[in-house]
Amino acid sequence: MDHAFRAPKGTRDILWPDSARWRSLVDVFADVVSSAGYLEVIPPMFEHVEVFQRLGQATDVVRKEMYSFEDRGGRQIALRPEQTASVVRAFAEHRPVVPWKAWYAGPNFRYERAQKGRYRQFDQVGVEVLGPEDAHVDAEVIALAWRFYERLGLRRVTLAVNSLGSPGDRARYVEALRAHFSADLDSLSEESRTTLAVNPLRVLDSRREADTALVAAAPSMLDHLSDDAEAHFGRVTDALAALGVPFTVSPRLVRGLDYYVRTTFEFVAEALDAAQDAVGGGGRYDGLAEDLGAPATPGVGFALGVDRTLLACDAEGVFDAPTSSIDVFVVDTTGGERAVVLTDDLRRAGLRADRAWDGRSMKAQMKAADRSGAAMAVIVGEDELAAGTVVVRDLRGDGGQETVALDSMIDILRARLR
Ligand code: HAM
C-alpha cells in the first residue's frame, strides 16, 4: 500500500475491542478522581508555543520533540506535548476559585523515536491541583494514581518518590552536580557531556554503561534540601505510609520537565521493558502558574500514559478487552422491516442490539449473530410475524429457545441477560 495511506510513524489506529478498553480505562479514571472532587477540564490541543517553552528550554520535550509551526495567521503554535502547561495556562486565564482540582484525558504529541510503548501521539489521563502547598495534597494526588492502578487490577507497579527541594535548593544541587561531573569529564559518555552543558540533572537519567560509576557516585539531592523542603517531603512520605501506598525514595529520580520543585514521583510497570516502563509521573510545580501570568500559586499533579498502562495490563493479563459489543442480535427473515422496529425497541429499552443487512439468508444471519458475540438472538420469520411473537434464542452454549409474545420480549431478554 502507498505509504501515504498508512498512519504516520508513531501513530496508531485503535480499533475495537482495544478502543472499548481504552474508553473504559478513562471511565475508571474519571470515577476514581471524581470521587475525590476533581472536575474535568478540556484544554485545546494546541497553544501558543510560549506556553510550552515554560517546560524548559533545556528539555528534550521542548528542544527536540515539539510539533511547532506557524499558522496561516502568522502565530507560532505548538501541538501540546503534555497538558500540565495547558491546564495551568487555563488556570491563569480563568482564575477559578482555589483549591482548583482538575482532571483531564486526551492526546499529546512528541516527536520521539517511535517504538512499542513510545509514540508520537499518545494519550494521558491526569490531574492538577492549583492552590494549596500542603504536602497532603501531594499525598492525595499520588494515592489517587495508586488507587487507579489498583482498580485496573495492576499488581506490578512500583512508586518512586523524590524531592527536588525549593528552587534555591535545586539550583544549589545543580551546581554540585555540575562540579561533580566536570571534575571527571573524561569518564563521561559524549552524550552525557552534551547533556551536562545544558541540564546537569538529566545526566542522572543516563543509562549508558560509561556513566554508571560517575552517576552512582553523584551527590544526592536529599543532602541539598532546605529544612522547609525536607519537612514538606517528610509529610508526603508519612502520609503515603499512613495510606498504605508502598514507595521507595529515589534521590536520583529526575523528571524530563523543568518546572518541578519539591515532590516528584514516577510509577514504573515492572512487567514492561525498561526503555518504556514509566507508566506515569508527576510532581510539584509551584512556579509555573506565575510563569504563565497568574499570581504565584502552588501546583501539583500527575499524568499517566494510557498507551503504556494498557500495555502493562496486557503484560499482567488484567483489565481485559470486552468480548462483545452487543447483547441481542435481531434475525429477520421476513424482509427486514420487523428488524428496523425491533432493534429500535430494544435499544430504547437500554439493550445493545444489532441486526444483519442486505436481505441475507437465515443461515447467514445466524452466523452474523454468532460472530457479533451477542448473548441472545431475537428471531422473526413469517409465522412469528403473523402471530405477533418472536423466538428468543440463547446463543451461549445450549441455552435453548422459546417463542414469546412481543410485549413480553424485553422483560424476558432482561431476565436472561442478567
Ligand atoms: P511525563 O513523564 O512526560 O510527564 O509523561 C507522563 C507519562 O506519559 C509517562 O510516564 C508515560 O507513561 C507517558 N508518555 C510520555 N511520553 C510518551 C510517549 N512518547 N509515548 C507513550 N507514552 C508516553 C508529564 O507529561 C507531566 N505533564 C506530568 C505532570 C502532571 N506533572 C505534573 N502534573
How far is the centre of ligand 1, averaged over its atoms, from the C-alpha of 235 (Å)?
25
At residue 280, φ and ψ (nearest 5 deg) are: -175, 160
**How close is the Cα of 278 to the center of ligand 1, in Å?**
8
43 in contact with ligand 1, CB cutoff 6 A: no
What 8-state DSSP symbol labels residue 96?
P
The length of the chain in residues reads: 418
Sequence ranges of the chain with CATH classification 3.40.50.800: 328-417
CA distance 65 to 72: 22
pLDDT at 399: 75
- Helices 135-152 + 227-243 axis angle, to 10: 30
Segments of 147-241 assigned E as strands: 157-163
| CB 118 less than 6 A from any atom of ligand 1 | yes
Question: From the CB of 55, is ligand 1 less than 6 Å away?
Answer: no
Closest CA to 110 of 165, 157, 160, 52: 52
Q: What is the pTM of this model?
A: 0.95
Looking at residue 333, its pLDDT comes to: 97
Q: What confidence score (pLDDT) does residue 207 get? A: 82
Q: Which residues of the chain fall short of a pLDDT of 70? A: 1
Q: How many helices (H) and strands (E) does the chain have?
A: 16, 16
- Ligand 1 neighbourhood includes 200 CB (under 6 angstroms): no
Distance 281 CA to ligand 1 centre (A): 6
CATH 3.30.930.10 in the chain, residue ranges: 18-165+225-316
CA 266 – ligand 1 centroid, Å: 10
Alpha-carbon gap, residue 418 to 415, rounded angstroms: 5
pLDDT, residue 1, reads 63
Whether 301 is in the pocket of ligand 1, judged by its Cβ within 6 Å, is: yes
Q: Out of 2.40.10.120, 3.40.50.800, 3.40.50.620, 2.60.130.10, which CATH number does the structure's domain 328-417 have?
A: 3.40.50.800
Cβ contacts of 42 within 8 Å, gap of 6 or more? 104, 106
Kindly give the distance from the C-alpha atom of residue 332 to the centroid of ligand 1, in angstroms, as a whole number. Answer: 50
Residue nearest to atom 3 of ligand 1 (CA): 256
Which residue from 104, 285, 308 has its CB within 8 A of the most atoms of ligand 1, so it is best to mutate? 308
Residue 374 alpha carbon to ligand 1 centre in Å: 38
Cα angle 375, 378, 381; round to 5: 150
Strands 157-163 and 121-130: unpaired
Whether residue 361 contacts residue 379, with contact meaning beta carbons closer than 8 Å, is answered with no
Q: Which of 33, 67, 124, 164 to mutate to test the pocket of ligand 1 (most atoms within 8 A of CB)?
A: 124
Q: Which ranges of 83-187 does DSSP label H, i.e. alpha helix? A: 84-94, 135-152, 167-182
Is the CB of 170 inside a 6 Å radius of any atom of ligand 1? Answer: no
Ligand 1 and 38: CB distance under 6 A: no
Percent of the chain with pLDDT over 90: 88
The phi, psi pair for 366, rounded to 5°, reads -65, -35
**Closest atom of ligand 1 relative to the 126 alpha carbon:** 30
CATH no. of 18-165+225-316: 3.30.930.10
Considering only CA atoms, which residue is closest to atom 15 of ligand 1? 305
